[in-house]
Amino acid sequence: MGDRPKLPARYEQVKLLGEGNFAKVYLARHMDTKEEVAIKVMDKEKLIKLGAVQQIKREIAVMRRLRHPNIVQLHKVMACKSRIFVVMEYVRGGPLYRHIPANSGLKEDETRRIFQQLVSALTFCHAQGVYHRDIKPDNLLVDEHGNLKVADFGLSAHADTARREALLHTVCGTPLYVPPEVFARRGYDGAKADAWSCGIVLFVLAAGRKPFRDDDFITLYRTICRGDYRCPRTFSPELVRIVRRLLQPNPAHRITLLQIKETDWFKKGFKEVSFYIDNKDCLRSLDGSEEPDLCDSDSEDETAMSSSSSGSSSPVAHGDGGGMHTSVSAPSLVNLEKMHIAAARAPEPRIRRIKSMNAFDIIASSPSFDLSGLFEERGEQLRFVSSAPVNTIISKLEEIAGQVSFTARTKDCQVSFEATRNGHKGALAISTKIFQLTPELVMVQVCKKAGDTAEYRQFCGSELKPGLRGLVDGLPEDGLPPTLNVA
């Protein structure tokens, strides 16, 4: 990649912020809104050669689910033929370490304020089953108001709900901030590992230096395993106790971040964030309990699905710089020729647009760089993406309903199923809605409205998914759709 790569449309490059093995990060400005953003530019071929696909896949999947005022926000992901563009919040103040006076540290009240924001962000991550595993001042940014922003989730791990208590085994992170159990190559608790790293950060904030000698790796390892460090005399007794409980070499005796939040030292001046406004001006709950519908059911904002497009090839086929597309219109998911033929045969029903669609739900950029599953399941909700004509999808849904003796009612782009006999908790009722992502792609959202959850899941697994085989892009004819499982 050159020093000045062509950025996505409507963004102008301001300067290079930094670079790594397979990515460069640029400060860019939106030409219309003048908003400054950070754009990470990644070369697809280099990602594949360096074996970094899983790391980027994990980082994007994790960041899309973390919406917290003290976590760097992911705005959008775009791609062209050879590059991936990740557009993120620009944090003007830069890395935290630039704001810490060497060998003296910050005053205790300021140390506490920043530490409170770090713990608030990480306990939120842990509640979502996400463990950062590389907490250090380099990955902690400060905005123009002096507030902390956690960044760089490239080494993070995600525990599936069913395996939330499982131990992690990957050795990763920066040695000075890595706990003894990770060095020992035993299974470790991701939350306890993050707590240790927070202890190091807390020490650095208050002292302006590192707690352990790192002249060489052997010395560092021994001092970490022994817990061999001394707190400066400037530390208050309460702060010393917090540091010692966090930098406990035995993870079984180490305090958790949730327990830290209950200490008097931490509580001083702390106000927990309960709700926040996201970049779509929507009120969101930090506990993730409120999962809003993708489209307001009362909205009149509808549009006809486009059936005219120039040519039958992917937009990225016209060259590297041109044909920029968002991740939702990735070429591996689109078959425009099939769309044109179907559009000529029958008019499409009017279809709802997504009111607030998060592109990261369906990221994919090429067959060899698939960043998402084809199906995504969230509790009693199922979503899938298709380039099949809307009429075809509706007909298939009605056919599936008939095969299991369900009553099907269709209105515009919504198909409702209802069982003709009562189940364990009354008649099973299911709603399916079709939303337009792009002129070439639609997303189908399936929700249980009434009835027994076990019966609903059985219907989805044994009838709905097999019946939709062939309508989900890239799905082999002889295979069932996989559920989303992004590490």
**Predicted local distance difference test score (pLDDT) of residue 335:** 31
Q: Has 134 been annotated as catalytic?
A: yes
Backbone angles phi, psi at 460, to 5 degrees: -65, -40
Tokens 């044994």 label which residue? Answer: 462
Q: Where in the chain is the domain with CATH 3.30.310.80?
A: 291-467
- Single-letter residue type at 236: S
- Express each pLDDT in 96-111 by its tens digit: 999 999 989 999 999 9
Predicted confidence (pLDDT) at residue 307 exceeds the cutoff of 80: no
Supply the angle between the helices 190-207 and 237-246 in degrees, to the nearest 10: 150
CA 442, distance to chain mean position in Å, is 21
Predicted confidence (pLDDT) at residue 265 exceeds the cutoff of 90: yes
Tokens 């202890």 label which residue? Answer: 199
CA distance 117 to 168: 25
CA distance 124 to 108: 24
Residue 142 pairs in a beta bridge with: 148
Is the pLDDT higher at 259 or at 450? 259
CA distance 371 to 362: 8
Percent of the chain at pLDDT above 90? 28
CA 394, distance to chain mean position in Å, is 31
Mean pLDDT, residues 342-368 taken together: 42
Predicted confidence (pLDDT) at residue 356 exceeds the cutoff of 80: no
Is the pLDDT higher at 400 or at 284? 400
Instruction: Tell me the pLDDT band of 483, cut-offs 50, 70 and 90.
Output: very low
CA distance 249 to 247: 6
Is the pLDDT higher at 309 or at 400? 400
Predicted confidence (pLDDT) at residue 297 exceeds the cutoff of 50: no
How far does the chain reach from its first CA to its final CA, in angstroms? Answer: 28
Pick the CATH number of 291-467 from 3.60.130.10, 3.10.150.10, 3.30.310.80, 3.10.580.10: 3.30.310.80
Instruction: Tell me the pLDDT band of 319, cut-offs 50, 70 and 90.
Output: very low
Nearest to 460 by CA among 383, 373, 391: 383
Structure tokens at 165: 């208590």
**What secondary structure letter does DSSP report for 95?**
B
Written as one string, the DSSP assignment of 120-173 is: HHHHHHHHTTEE----SGGGEEE-TTS-EEE---TT-EE--GGGTTPPB----S
**Predicted local distance difference test score (pLDDT) of residue 109:** 97
Residue 439 near residue 416 (C-beta atoms within 8 A): no
Q: Which residues neighbour 454 within 8 Å (Cβ) at sequence distance 6 or greater?
A: 424
Q: Which helix (H) or strand (E) holds 174?
A: none
- Select, from the ranges 121-130, 306-315, 336-345, the one with the highest average predicted confidence (pLDDT): 121-130
Residue 407 near residue 418 (C-beta atoms within 8 A): yes
**Predicted local distance difference test score (pLDDT) of residue 474:** 40
Mean pLDDT, residues 42-47 taken together: 88
Among candidate residues 134, 152, 189, 361, the one labeled active-site is 134
Is the pLDDT higher at 436 or at 247? 247
Of the ranges 216-230, 429-443, 472-486, which one carries the lowest mean pLDDT score? 472-486
Q: Where in the chain is the domain with CATH 3.30.200.20?
A: 11-89
- Express each pLDDT in 138-168 by its tens digit: 889 999 999 999 988 755 555 543 344 444 4
**Predicted local distance difference test score (pLDDT) of residue 4:** 65
Is the pLDDT higher at 465 or at 381? 465
Contacts 24+ apart (CB under 8 A), 313-317: 316/79, 316/80, 316/81, 317/81
What is each CA distance from 339 to 50, 118, 388, 389, 445, in whole angstroms? 36, 48, 7, 6, 20
The CATH class given to the 11-89 domain equals alpha beta
**Predicted local distance difference test score (pLDDT) of residue 13:** 93
CA distance 71 to 117: 9
Tokens 């620009």 label which residue? Answer: 90
Predicted confidence (pLDDT) at residue 286 exceeds the cutoff of 70: no
Backbone angles phi, psi at 307, to 5 degrees: -120, 10
The per-residue b/e assignment along 133-165, b for 16 or more CB within 10 angstroms, e otherwise, is: bbbbbebbbbbeeeebbbbbbbbbbbbeeeeee
Within a 10 A sphere around the Cβ of 63, how many other Cβ atoms? Answer: 23
Instruction: Tell me the pLDDT band of 222, cut-offs 50, 70 and 90.
Output: confident
- Single-letter residue type at 73: Q
- 3-state helix, strand, coil split of the chain in percent (to 5) is 30, 20, 45
Predicted confidence (pLDDT) at residue 288 exceeds the cutoff of 50: no
What is each CA distance from 418 to 271, 286, 431, 453, in whole angstroms? 47, 34, 9, 14
Percent of the chain at pLDDT above 70? 66
Instruction: Tell me the pLDDT band of 50, cut-offs 50, 70 and 90.
Output: confident
The per-residue b/e assignment along 439-471, b for 16 or more CB within 10 angstroms, e otherwise, is: ebbbbbbbbbeebbeebbeebbeebbbebbeeb
Nearest to 198 by CA among 263, 273, 257, 240: 257
- Express each pLDDT in 244-253 by its tens digit: 999 999 999 9
The CATH class given to the 96-276 domain equals mainly alpha
Is the pLDDT higher at 202 or at 224? 202
pTM for the full predicted model: 0.58
Of the ranges 75-89, 119-133, 472-486, which one carries the lowest mean pLDDT score? 472-486
Is the pLDDT higher at 232 or at 482? 232
Mean pLDDT, residues 352-361 taken together: 42
Is the pLDDT higher at 48 or at 345? 48
CA 310, distance to chain mean position in Å, is 33
What is the chain's alpha carbon radius of gyration, rounded to the nearest angstrom? 25
